[in-house]
Structure 1
Amino acid sequence: MADEPNLDASTPTVEATPTETRKRRSPAKRKDAAEAVAKKAAGETSAVSSPKSRRHTESEKAEKVAEIERRLREGSTLKAAAKDAGISDQTFYQWKRATPSSGVQAAVSAPEKDGLADLVELEAENVRLRGLLAEKLRTENTALRKKLGLA
């Protein structure tokens, strides 16, 4: 009697087979999943699985930056000009920083040519200012000595 389960007459006995308790996937889902894995392994991409790539060439970037700058000179707002160009205003700033205009390049290269002359001029001004400071400190020093009675 020890091997018999402790069941009373009111509990029904149900025997379950192992196949009834497992859930099964439909064959179509397995086939689609297998095709997706095969495409991925082959290097194919579907339009649904990967987002659209928005890469612009350098010439396209320069054209859009120039177009936005032209619209800004005409009085348009940055947000409106960038929206019409199809980019965000932050993208405009990044592209503008990455591709400086020709006016900025000319302004940067001009001081480099006169760098030595500027350096000589700055050194001369530095000497002049040091002399003025030394003169001022001498006068203050003598005034303090007189007040203290040391002179």
Structure 2
Amino acid sequence: MAGPQETESTQITTEAPAKPATPEPKKKAARSRRAKAEATQPAVSKRSRQSPKAAEAPAPATRAPRKTYSEKERAHKLSQIEKTIVGGATIKNAVGQAGISEQTYYQWKKAAAPASESDDLKDLLALEEENKRLKKMLAEHLRKENAELKNKLGLA
């Protein structure tokens, strides 16, 4: 039979390995994308939102609200870009100077092309109609003049 000192030493040795001397690093749990995004954004307290210095400080980079352009503004920007391109600039530079993206430029150009073609077609049809009208007027005027000359010469 073991003495009281031996049982205490066995109990101590059994308890000692249960608690290691150096703590093991905790494993990180996987976070969702939303949690990661929130963790990367700086925390803003109510006090800093109300302070005048916070209002003067530059805001973090955020997207500006979407700007909508009228048809006239679009046409103006497209003509401005075309002039810049004719001047020797690249499309990328010309679009950047106009303040729109390349995708927007191509979408506007695609939308404007059929409208301008139909306008050209309307103009062409109007010119053809005017030509017909003027030819008829000229023919009538020449007939009258020819008839007057025949009467003066006594050929008719």
Query: Same fold, TM exceeding 0.5?
Result: no
Q: Which has the larger radius of gyration?
A: 2
TM-score, normalised to structure 2, is 0.36
Q: What TM-score does the superposition give when structure 1 sets the normalisation length?
A: 0.37
